[in-house]
Each structure stands twice: as structure tokens, then as C-alpha cells.
A and B are shown apart, each in its own frame.
Chain A
Amino acid sequence: MRSRVAVGSFAPPLLGAETLRHLARTAIEAAVHAGAEFADVRVSDRRQYGGGDERGDLLFTYGCGVRVRVHGHEAFGATAEATPDGVIRAARSAVATARALAAVSLPPWPLVPVPVTTGEWTTPLQIDPFTVSPDDHAFVGTGYRRTYGQYQDFLFQGGFTWVQETRVVASSEGTLVTQHATRCLSGFEPGFLGSRVRSGDPSDNFGLQVPAYSWSTAGFEATLGSANHDLLEATAVELTELLAYPVGAAEVGRRDVVLDGIATGSVLGTTLLPTLQLSRVLGDEQDAGGTSMLAPPEDILGHQIFSPRLTFGVDPGMPHYGAARWDDEGVATTAFPLVERGAVVNYLGTRATLPGLAESMHQSTLLVSPGAAFTPEVMTLPSSRPGTVTMQADAAGPSFAELIQRLDDGIVLRNEFSTHADQQGASGIFRPRLAFEVRHGKIVRRLKWLRVEFATKKLWTSLAAVGNATTMQPSVSVTYGGLPWNLSYYTTLAPATLFQQVNIASNHVEI
């Protein structure tokens, strides 16, 4: 018999919003009292449940991070101790560090002034996943598995993880905002075991992601409804059809290539997004992940560098992953473009890095607004990390099928990619798990042992067509950086695309 006791009964919020606000104010007061001319603080109470099976995991995380400026010198203190004494110690520690830095360091750029903001925001949702019982979470997952049970050789991969967090951002300037966010980290992929189980050939281990499922800001309703099961089934049927094609090796050389939305997003998220982070452009990550090919800004901003068909930007609205009303510096978020018709028009910056951009451009005023500073967990400093980036579809553009029909002799790449970029994002390589050869507009065979090597600017300059809105699909990318060093995820929503004369190489190596 299924238990009806909600996940929230096992995992209640540990602290209320008022307690978090009190801790935030206490930290600010402690920092100012200790001598800081500026302080801002992020306090978070987060619970996470990963279920959908007979096993699960629950994670409770609390944190407080205090950034201070003392005579212009910046320091950061953090604690996981959720008491006034704990946050006071973190604030005082940060002030002491800032003072000590004066002996060995020049002060960083001054922080960009921003409007004082106050308020509270809760992500809208229909069904709070923490009001659902663990048994019902598992029941949904089991139902999805059952959908695929009828397909021989299919391996079902997927699940849901729910994150619910109350985060308070406050500053000595008077900002005090509270946000309650519920996010869904989901992914479903019917995978084909193929001949791997029979011949030991791992190149036949692939799947097709169900595009409706990706990371989002949503409630439990995202998992329900017959439409979801229809999508799961449709994906399985499509994969079955794709598997019926004969299999062969790709011919090396330059070919026109169509990427579906997931593949396009994967390449965009791995190559261009990191290069637009000011922390990389200005050299903060020089001794870590690297710098950026899109530097110096005076040679880049406003110049057309990529195909005029390429337009994308940050989208913090619902229901995207990372949707928020304010960023982690308490600045109101807005959607803004990064690349418009092939020209770089903005970078991703924070209050701390945007002055560096102004200095680089020899401008006294800011060219880019803040509002894109985030940190995956508050015990690290916020840096420029978008929750979701959206690439613009071509309203009058082709469907995915029509894009394929445009190929006389080309390749279509589907779904999840293994994408790698260099230390400046100037070049990369991707290996699709599902690729097909197209002759005269029709898929003729499935390709194995294929990889694509590219120079990033050249690749995005060769963008010849962008699909319409029906081709938009989500993908998840990861970025590393920050202080202390950490990783964060973001999603990219992108349409299908057609690239011309892409460098196809053989992946086939016998050991």
C-alpha cells in the first residue's frame, strides 16, 4: 500500500524566511560594525529530493556567504552554521581578510552602483513536489519505465530531482530580497542497448532524449498528464524507426550538417557561453579554466563575428531553469541579448566585473547592465552565470524535416553530444551519439565513428539556416570557475540549425 505521507514531512524547511532575513541582517551589521564600508550577504536554506524509484536521496543544505569591502579591498567569508554567532564570525572573518589583503594587493574595481531593491518572490507552481509522498514520486517513475517496457533492447534512463530553496540577498545599501524557488532537474532518455550487450561494441550505446523533459523551474505537475506518456512513447517509436537504417562509417571531409535543437544547444552552451563571461574575458580565470577568444572587448563589442542568423541571449523568465526575479547581487533580472544577428552586443557580468569592461572600453558609463550574477550555492561568490540561454528561432524558418530535406549530401546529428572546447573557446570537437547520412534530402543510413572538429568562429559563421519554433529543444551545459572553484549548470534552449562545410573526421580507433 502506498504511503501518502509527503516528502516534506521527512524534509521540512530547516529555517523560515524570517530567520534567514534575520541572519542576513545580522551578518551585514557585523560586517559594517567591524569596519566594512560595504557588505552584501546571501543566506540559503535548501532541500533536495531525488526520487522516482524505490531508492532516493534527500539533501539538506544551509549556507551563508558574506562579501565585504574595506578601504576598497574585497574579501569573502562563508559559514554553514545557521546561528547569529556563526554569521557574525563569517562577517568578521571577511573584514579581517580584507584588511590583511591591503598589505599585498591593489584594490579591485569599485562595485557598480545598483538600485536598492526589496521584496519577496515565489516561483509559481501548481503542485509542490514536497507535498507529494515518496511512494507517489516512485509511482510516477515506475509508470515511465512501464511505458518503455514493451520495447525490446531499450534501457530506460531518467528521473526527477527536486530542489526547493529559500534564498535571501541583503546588502548594506539596503537591499533585502527573499526568493522561494522550486526547480526540477529532470531528464528522460530511452536508450538503446543495441549490439553492445551482444558484441561489446560501445558505439551502439545511445539514446534519444525526450525533449519535453529538461531542467526547469516547475512543480510536480511537470511529471503528470497523458501527454507526457505520449511524448515518451513517440520518442521510443522514433528511435525504433531510426534504428532500422543500415549502419556504416562516415566519410571524412567537409559536409553540410543539420543539428537538432538539443545538439545545437549543446554546442552553443559549451563553446560561446563561457567566452562571454567577463570573468574569463578580463583574466580572472586565466590561471584556471582559461580566458576568452572574445577579447579584448573593444575589438569585439558591436562587431559582427558570426553568421547574421545567430541571435541568443539570457532569459531568466519562467519556466526556465534559474528563473528568478533578482540575481544574487539583488539586482532585478531581465532578458537581454548577448549576440544579435551575429554581433556580440553584451557580456555576462557582475557588479564586480562590469567596471573592468568599462575600463577596457575606455568608457565612463556601463555598456551592460548587471542582473546576471548567480552562484549555485551561497558559500561561493556570485559570478556571471545565466540560468537559461535562449537562441532565437527563425519564425519563417524550416521545420526539422525541411532542414534535412535541404541536404543534398550531408549529415544530420541528433541529441546528446560529447562537446569539448579549448581554453579560450576558439576551437572544439564534438562527438554525436546519433548521426545519419542524408542523400538528396533523405536519411539513408546511420553513421558510426564520427566526430566533428571545428574552429568556433568559423563554425558559427557557417550557420546557413535556423529552424522555426517547432524545432526548439532544451539541453544542459556545465561551466567551471569562480571563487572558490566550483561548477554550475545552465540550460540552453535552441532551434535546429544547418551548418555548411563542417569538418567531419573519423573516430574509429581499434585497440
Chain B
Amino acid sequence: MIRMSTSAASHTLAFLDARHRATPGARRVLTRDEALALADTVLGFSKLPLPGLRLQHRVITTVRITRNHHVACVEHDLLSLNFPTKIGSDIRVSIGTNVRDLAMLRRVMEHAQTCATPLPLPTADDTPDPVEAPKVRSYLPVALWRDGTQHAMDILNGDTVANLVRPLQQSSLLCAATILLMTRVVLHRPVGGQAVWGEETDSEVTVSARTPDGKASGWSGQAHRDFTRIDPARVAHDAIEMAQRMRGAVRVEPGRYTTILGPAAVGALVSALEFAFDAEGLGPFAAGPPTRIGHRVLDPRITLTTDPMDPEGGEFPFFDDGYAAYPSGKATWVEQGILRQLGYGSPYAALNAGKFPIKAPAALHMSGGPTSIEEMIAQCERGLYVHRLSGVDVVDPASASMTGTTRDGCFLIKQGKIATPVTNLRFYQSPALAFNRVLALGAPERASFGLTPPSLGNRDTWGTWPHAPIIVPPMMVEDFNFSSMTDAV
């Protein structure tokens, strides 16, 4: 355990770096004891009482392979500290920093409180206030950490990259790939209160392939909290095969098609639909009065849940400020098509609305059905198979109408068989409507997103990887609306 005190102000956190370089596969991020020691040391720098401090330490390793042969590898290590205070006569501010030198942290803490009057420490009866310490309630511990991912972060020391590069180099296509690995810890340290701790890992491998003439492309991806569960060679094979199958794509007229959406396509829609479960949002489920809770909003075969204990998905069981998020252990947003509840962006928003705080979803799990994609195709007289959607975003929040394009795999189906690859189409469709026209559902799996710009409707982190896990089935829907053609490949 790290030992730090105010007398150790010249120390740095360099031990972290030394540790993981000395021991291959060693933990990159702070342990709980180290994080607590650091938080208490920083709080000790304060001349005035503070309600508490939030600490996040995240390390992301990114391997990027471009033009089949060129590999780049970077590790991004970000330690951030946030705490509330007051400056000026009565200006409440949130202070954040990424500095990891204790002398600099002391400087931040001391200056930030020049002339400041102390914030009152919270009591049990306090009115909710964003600058107060979270009133922690009990929550179940979750297991979002997988050692296999941590060990894989020394990615260049193993065979993983070489094994992924080899099929790309042997391919006659223009290939690019990404390997992403993350470890992250979060600590909320309220003064005099119960510390809130979470740790997680995540990983993803994606490959895209394009024909040299730029007229056909394919993509594949796998995401898992445990990197050892990902098969990079399989991802490469699937992407290359998809690109080969897309050769000779023909144009089809836009319009309404029976559409089979692969898991990546459904995942993009569900991820962008998250805002609709925010009670304070402008989405179709929250608009009112009257409330739509208790009414059927989706196909009766669909149940949507957020379960922090979900072994394939899950998320931290507390709000960003440490308040317990799911009092009953998990949240069921839609049960057999019926809207059961909505969540909130912060516990204070819920309390101000007179509601019990339930966190609006980041991770989501959609129930599935018994039909495989092959069976869906066999059942389809005329329609489209969409492997992946790109640039999915909300255009009209009131109806959850979204736009985006097909990408890296789109096929015309005729009489129960794939007839021909087709060029990409733009869609304009509300999943809140499309998910009411479900013809068949398959087995749920975690959707892979890779590095794609976030949707306005997604409540997860902005522009950063990873997305919270979205587990969805492939889906066959009626009358999915493709509004125009696009020349994009």
C-alpha cells in the first residue's frame, strides 16, 4: 500500500509507472487502498473542511493498424480528482485536476480556497445540493473487473498484434484494425462517510476492410470485459469476408423494407435510444403528462433492463457522484413491451422531482428470441439485411426519430435468400416505432461499436471509448424506413 502524508508532498505517483513496467501484466490503475490513501492525503491539504472528493483513474491502451502494415500503440493514463468548494464571496465551484504530483496538488488545494468560506458538511436532513457529498446508500458489489484484460495491456509483448496483422497483410484488401483495452477505477470519498468504490475492465477488437477500388467494405467487431474472450483472428476473418461479399453492390431504391438488423445495427439504435429513458429528457417515453409508465411502448417480446451484476455487461451501481443508483439491485425499463420506469441523470434531480433516485441507463440488455439470422433471411420474401449502421443520431427527440447510414455490409433479400449486395442507404426511423413492428428476434449478444462518434441520444461518455455494454439480439422488423441513397462506402 502506498503511504502518503502531508509531509510527503514532494512525492509523485511514479510508483504506478515503475510497478507496471517492472512486472509485465501488473495492474495499471490504483488499488482501493492506494486510491483511499491518495484521497485522504489530498483532502488533508485543505485548510478548510471539504465535503469530499471524487477520484477516477483510467488507463486505455490503443493499438491502431492502418493500411494493413502500419501499427501504432499508445497508452493513455488519466488520473483525475474533483472536489467542490467556494470562491469569491459565495461562488460555488467544482474543481478538477489531472495533476499527479503531490506538490502541485497541494498548490491546487491551497489556492482554491484562498478567502473561501467553508462549505457546510452535509447532514442527513440536508436539502439536496450538487456540491454536497453523496448520501450513500448500500449497493451490491459488482464484478466488472477481469484480470485477463489487465494482463493483456502489455499488448506488444505477446502474439496478439502479430496474429491480427498477419491476415490483414495476407489479404488483397485495404485493412485497418483497432485493439482497445481499458482498466478504470472510481472512488468517492465523502468526509466522514462511506467510501464508494468501483473497478472495471473492458476491451474491444474491430477490423474494417475495403476493396482497393473503394467500392466495397466490410467490418466486424467483438467487445468483452475479458479480453481473453475475444477472438481477433475471427474478427479479421469476418471483416474480410464481408468486404469480399460486398463486391458488385447494386443500388436499390430507398423506401420501406422488411429489414433484418444484425446485433451491431440494433446496438447502435438502442444505444442512441437511451435518452428516452431519462425522466427529464425530451424523449417519447418521458413526454407528458400523461405518463406513459404502465403503457405498452414496444413489442411485447422486448424486455429492457440494466443490471449491474450482468456478467456480460453491467455497470457501476451508483450515480456519477456516488449515490446508489438501483435500490432494487437492477432496473427494468421495459417489461414485455410495457414501460415500467424512467431514470434520472442525477439523484438530486430525482429527489427534487419527489422521486426515488434511479439512474438513467448507460448499459442496457435487451431480451431476445429463438430465431437465427439465417432463419430470419429464410422467412423474408423481400427485404434488406443490414450488418451495421453508422453515424446514428437523434434528429427529433420527441419521436426518437434517428438518422444514420448502413455501412460495411448491406444485402437485398429475395425469396428467403441473399440476392445481392447493395450500396449504402440513409435511414430515417424512430426505433420506438420500429421496435413495435418486430417480426423475429435472435439470441442477444454484446454489440461492438469501436471508435465511432457518440450519438446525442447516448448518455454515455462523450467522444471517448468505451461505450457502456449494450447487449441486444439481431432483429427482423417490418417497414424500416430508408429515406435516401448515399454514395458513401
Q: Which of A51-59, A146-154, A261-269, A325-333 contacts B (4 or more CB under 8 A)?
A: A51-59
Q: When chains A and B are docked, how far (Å) is the Cα of A286 from the Cα of B217? A: 10
Taking the closest CB of chain B, its distance from the CB of A352, in whole angstroms, is: 10
A121 in contact (CB, < 8 A) = no
B178 in contact (CB, < 8 A) = yes
- Among B103-130, those with CB < 8 Å from A are 104, 107-108, 111-116
Contact of B104 among A14, A85, A200, A453 (CB under 8 A): A14
Most buried by A among B88, B101, B112, B282: B88
B442 in contact (CB, < 8 A) = no
A241 in contact (CB, < 8 A) = no
- Chain A residue nearest in CB terms to B160: A104
Contact of A453 among B70, B78, B484 (CB under 8 A): B484
Contact of B426 among A201, A289, A424, A429 (CB under 8 A): A429
Taking the closest CB of chain A, its distance from the CB of B106, in whole angstroms, is: 11
- Among A122-167, those with CB < 8 Å from B are 133-135, 138
| Cβ–Cβ < 8 Å partners of A507 in chain B | 395-396, 401
| Cβ–Cβ < 8 Å partners of B374 in chain A | none
Taking the closest CB of chain A, its distance from the CB of B390, in whole angstroms, is: 5
- Given A81-B13, A202-B287, verify A11-B111 contact (CB < 8 Å): yes
B211 in contact (CB, < 8 A) = no
- Among B155-176, those with CB < 8 Å from A are 156-157, 161-162, 165, 174, 176
- Chain B residue nearest in CB terms to A4: B88
- Chain A residue nearest in CB terms to B94: A57
A306 in contact (CB, < 8 A) = no
- A287 near B207 with CB under 8 A, answer yes
A173 in contact (CB, < 8 A) = no
> Per-position contact with A for B391-416: 1 when CB-CB < 8 Å, else 0?
10101111111011101000000000
- Given A287-B450, A427-B484, A453-B426, verify A511-B96 contact (CB < 8 Å): no
- Chain B residue nearest in CB terms to A279: B66
- Given A10-B114, A422-B391, A487-B462, verify A108-B399 contact (CB < 8 Å): no
Taking the closest CB of chain B, its distance from the CB of A359, in whole angstroms, is: 11
| Cβ–Cβ < 8 Å partners of B463 in chain A | 478, 480, 485-487
- Chain A residue nearest in CB terms to B60: A484
Contact of A426 among B90, B112, B486 (CB under 8 A): B486
- B487 near A426 with CB under 8 A, answer yes
Taking the closest CB of chain B, its distance from the CB of A440, in whole angstroms, is: 30
- A83 near B101 with CB under 8 A, answer yes
- Chain A residue nearest in CB terms to B89: A3
- Among B244-300, those with CB < 8 Å from A are 282, 284, 287-289
B230 in contact (CB, < 8 A) = no
Taking the closest CB of chain A, its distance from the CB of B88, in whole angstroms, is: 4
> Per-position contact with B for A411-428: 1 when CB-CB < 8 Å, else 0?
000000010111111110
Q: Which of A95-103, A207-215, A310-318 contacts B (4 or more CB under 8 A)?
A: A95-103
- Chain A residue nearest in CB terms to B154: A100
- B115 near A427 with CB under 8 A, answer no
Q: Which of B24-32, B195-203, B427-435 contacts A (4 or more CB under 8 A)?
A: B427-435
Count of chain B residues with a beta carbon within 8 Å of a chain A beta carbon: 102
Q: When chains A and B are docked, how far (Å) is the Cα of A447 from the Cα of B116? A: 51
- B98 near A511 with CB under 8 A, answer no
- Given A58-B95, A82-B104, A93-B21, verify A427-B76 contact (CB < 8 Å): no
Q: When chains A and B are docked, how far (Å) is the Cα of A484 from the Cα of B176? A: 15
Taking the closest CB of chain B, its distance from the CB of A430, in whole angstroms, is: 9
Q: When chains A and B are docked, how far (Å) is the Cα of A494 from the Cα of B109? A: 43
- B176 near A287 with CB under 8 A, answer yes
| Cβ–Cβ < 8 Å partners of A54 in chain B | 90-92
B489 in contact (CB, < 8 A) = yes
| Cβ–Cβ < 8 Å partners of B100 in chain A | 80-81
- A9 near B399 with CB under 8 A, answer no
| Cβ–Cβ < 8 Å partners of A81 in chain B | 12-14, 17, 100-101
Q: When chains A and B are docked, how far (Å) is the Cα of A61 from the Cα of B80? A: 9
Contact of B14 among A63, A86, A201, A431 (CB under 8 A): A86
> Per-position contact with A for B13-53: 1 when CB-CB < 8 Å, else 0?
11001000100000000000000000000000000000000
- B487 near A455 with CB under 8 A, answer yes
Q: When chains A and B are docked, how far (Å) is the Cα of A316 from the Cα of B485? A: 37
- Among A53-75, those with CB < 8 Å from B are 54-63, 74-75
B458 in contact (CB, < 8 A) = no
- A12 near B111 with CB under 8 A, answer yes
Contact of A55 among B92, B210, B288 (CB under 8 A): B92
Taking the closest CB of chain B, its distance from the CB of A400, in whole angstroms, is: 26
> Per-position contact with A for B346-383: 1 when CB-CB < 8 Å, else 0?
00000000000000000000000000000000000000
- Chain B residue nearest in CB terms to A94: B74
B336 in contact (CB, < 8 A) = no
A234 in contact (CB, < 8 A) = no
- Among B60-80, those with CB < 8 Å from A are 60, 62, 64-67, 69-79
- Among A291-327, those with CB < 8 Å from B are 291, 293, 295-296
Contact of A89 among B14, B94, B98, B288 (CB under 8 A): B14
| Cβ–Cβ < 8 Å partners of A58 in chain B | 87, 93-96, 112
A1 in contact (CB, < 8 A) = yes
Q: When chains A and B are docked, how far (Å) is the Cα of A11 from the Cα of B78? A: 21
Q: When chains A and B are docked, how far (Å) is the Cα of A135 from the Cα of B91? A: 7
Q: When chains A and B are docked, how far (Å) is the Cα of A61 from the Cα of B76? A: 15
- Given A58-B95, A80-B79, A81-B100, verify A418-B395 contact (CB < 8 Å): yes
> Per-position contact with B for A458-491: 1 when CB-CB < 8 Å, else 0?
0000000000000000000010100111110000
| Cβ–Cβ < 8 Å partners of B178 in chain A | 287-288
- B114 near A85 with CB under 8 A, answer no
- B111 near A10 with CB under 8 A, answer yes
| Cβ–Cβ < 8 Å partners of A238 in chain B | none
| Cβ–Cβ < 8 Å partners of A290 in chain B | 390, 407, 488
| Cβ–Cβ < 8 Å partners of A76 in chain B | 72, 74
B328 in contact (CB, < 8 A) = no
Contact of A82 among B93, B101, B289 (CB under 8 A): B101
B311 in contact (CB, < 8 A) = no
B305 in contact (CB, < 8 A) = no
Contact of A62 among B14, B98, B177 (CB under 8 A): B98
A106 in contact (CB, < 8 A) = yes
Most buried by B among A57, A380, A485: A485
Q: When chains A and B are docked, how far (Å) is the Cα of A263 from the Cα of B197? A: 45
Q: When chains A and B are docked, how far (Å) is the Cα of A418 from the Cα of B12? A: 45
A446 in contact (CB, < 8 A) = no
- Chain A residue nearest in CB terms to B451: A288
Q: When chains A and B are docked, how far (Å) is the Cα of A422 from the Cα of B488? A: 7
| Cβ–Cβ < 8 Å partners of A55 in chain B | 91-93
Contact of A85 among B12, B399, B426 (CB under 8 A): B12
Taking the closest CB of chain B, its distance from the CB of A425, in whole angstroms, is: 8
A364 in contact (CB, < 8 A) = no
Taking the closest CB of chain B, its distance from the CB of A488, in whole angstroms, is: 9
Between A and B, 11 residue pairs with Cβ closer than 8 Å are A14-B104, A62-B98, A75-B73, A80-B100, A104-B71, A202-B282, A203-B396, A287-B451, A289-B451, A418-B456, A423-B407
Residues of B at the A interface (CB closer than 8 Å) are: 12-14, 17, 21, 60, 62, 64-67, 69-79, 87-101, 104, 107-108, 111-116, 156-157, 161-162, 165, 174, 176-178, 206-208, 210, 214, 219, 282, 284, 287-289, 390-391, 393, 395-401, 403-405, 407, 424, 426, 428, 430, 432-433, 450-453, 456, 462-465, 483-489
Residues of A at the B interface (CB closer than 8 Å) are: 1-3, 5, 7, 9-12, 14-15, 51, 54-63, 74-83, 85-86, 89, 93, 97, 100-101, 103-106, 108, 133-135, 138, 200-203, 205, 282-284, 286-291, 293, 295-296, 379-381, 418, 420-427, 429, 431, 449, 451, 453, 455, 478, 480, 483-487, 503, 505, 507, 509-511
Q: A134-B88, A422-B390, A484-B76 are in contact. List 18 more A-B contacts (CB 8 A).
A: A2-B88, A10-B93, A12-B107, A59-B97, A62-B98, A86-B101, A89-B14, A93-B17, A104-B162, A105-B71, A108-B70, A381-B74, A420-B404, A423-B390, A427-B484, A480-B453, A485-B451, A485-B464
Among all A-B residue pairs, the 3 with the closest Cβ atoms:
A487-B463, A134-B88, A105-B71
